[in-house]
A = this chain, B = another copy of it.
């Protein structure tokens, strides 16, 4: 079959567990998925590696990438650029891998505008009190930080209906399987099977002469 990979954009509330979900998916099916790595102009933190957490590049290099249309989307945040390099994503998809892009809401919507065939998935806990519980359960953040995250989440919820699919992360393993099914079924889309369609069409025309 003429399968090319699927571009799956995953967003979700901070505390919804989307990082763990994406890690779980990649660990469970390492041959099937590739994680898109962002480029940024911010300095690496201790323990961060170029090409693992981020591609760390200079401001000049980043602006060259913008000018050369080498980014799927980018944004500026607290004085630094963050963006998704196009090359790696295209290469992996061409090789038949499904590329996972874990990205916040505004970036996700920009990707969808440019690539309507991208699969947008929003990850949420079952309800708002559960999100608050998970944020507090981390035990690492100040009350102020938690309130700020909840406020951001309230702002993001408004955009949930712009996503293709909503995934409720109640139980992690079940959610990994659901995400996997969701992405894999996309391979059956007619637009990804044009070669098969043409082959059937030609084959049947030949036989039915």
Contacts and interface: CB of A to CB of B under 8 A. Distances in A.
B203 A127 contact: yes
Contacts of A132: 207
A81 interface: no
B153 A208 contact: yes
Q: Give the top 9 A-B pairs by smallest Cβ distance, nearest first.
A: A128-B203, A154-B204, A157-B201, A150-B208, A165-B188, A154-B208, A151-B208, A160-B197, A166-B193
Contacts of A191: 161
Main secondary structure of the interface of A (DSSP, over half): helix
Contact of A197 (B147, B151, B157, B182): B157
A190 B163 CA distance: 6
Contact of A128 (B164, B193, B207): B207
- State the number of copies, please: 2
Q: Give the interface size bracket for A toward B.
A: 35 or more
27 contacts: A127-B199, A128-B202, A128-B204, A128-B206, A129-B203, A129-B207, A154-B201, A154-B207, A154-B208, A157-B200, A157-B201, A157-B204, A157-B205, A158-B201, A160-B197, A160-B201, A161-B197, A163-B190, A164-B189, A164-B190, A165-B185, A165-B189, A166-B188, A166-B189, A166-B197, A167-B188, A181-B185
Interface in A130-183: 131-132, 147, 150-151, 153-154, 157-158, 160-168, 178, 181-182
A182 B185 contact: yes
Interface of A: 1, 13, 122, 124, 127-129, 131-132, 147, 150-151, 153-154, 157-158, 160-168, 178, 181-182, 184-185, 188-191, 193-194, 196-197, 199-208
Contacts of A165: 185, 188-190
